[in-house]
Amino acid sequence: MIDNFGFMTNDPDTISVLDQTKVPKKAIQGTPWYQLLSNPLYSMQFYYVGAFVEEREKLIEDGKAPSKEED
């Protein structure tokens, strides 16, 4: 790729580390966020607003403080 286009799409150091990486005996399987959402108790404790809720974007807070104009 570097011969044709003059750049590498991947960092050579990263490729070297990945080539030397071995598969662990106990690999993590599944997705942790799915496990959180599959348990209603956890979902409520983390204040998860499901995709089925209409106008959910109005309920989700992104951590920004309201501006003076919104008060």
Domain count for the chain, please give it.
1
Domain limits for position 49? 30-61
Indicate whether 6 belongs to any domain: no
Which tens digits make up the pLDDT trace of 6-37? 776 778 888 898 899 888 887 777 766 667 67
Q: Give whole-number Cα distances, 15 to 34, 53, 63, in Å.
A: 30, 43, 37
Indicate whether 66 belongs to any domain: no
d(CA 9, CA 1): 8
* CB burial of residue 38 (10 Å; 0-12, 13-18, 19+): exposed
Indicate whether 5 belongs to any domain: no
Indicate whether 57 belongs to any domain: yes
Tokens describing residue 15: 């490729």
Indicate whether 3 belongs to any domain: no
**SS3 for 69?**
helix
Indicate whether 43 belongs to any domain: yes
Q: What is the pTM of this model?
A: 0.33
Indicate whether 56 belongs to any domain: yes
Indicate whether 22 belongs to any domain: no
65 pLDDT tier (thresholds 50, 70, 90): low
Q: Are 15 and 21 in contact (CB under 8 A)?
A: no
- For residues 56 and 36, which has the higher predicted lDDT (pLDDT)? 56
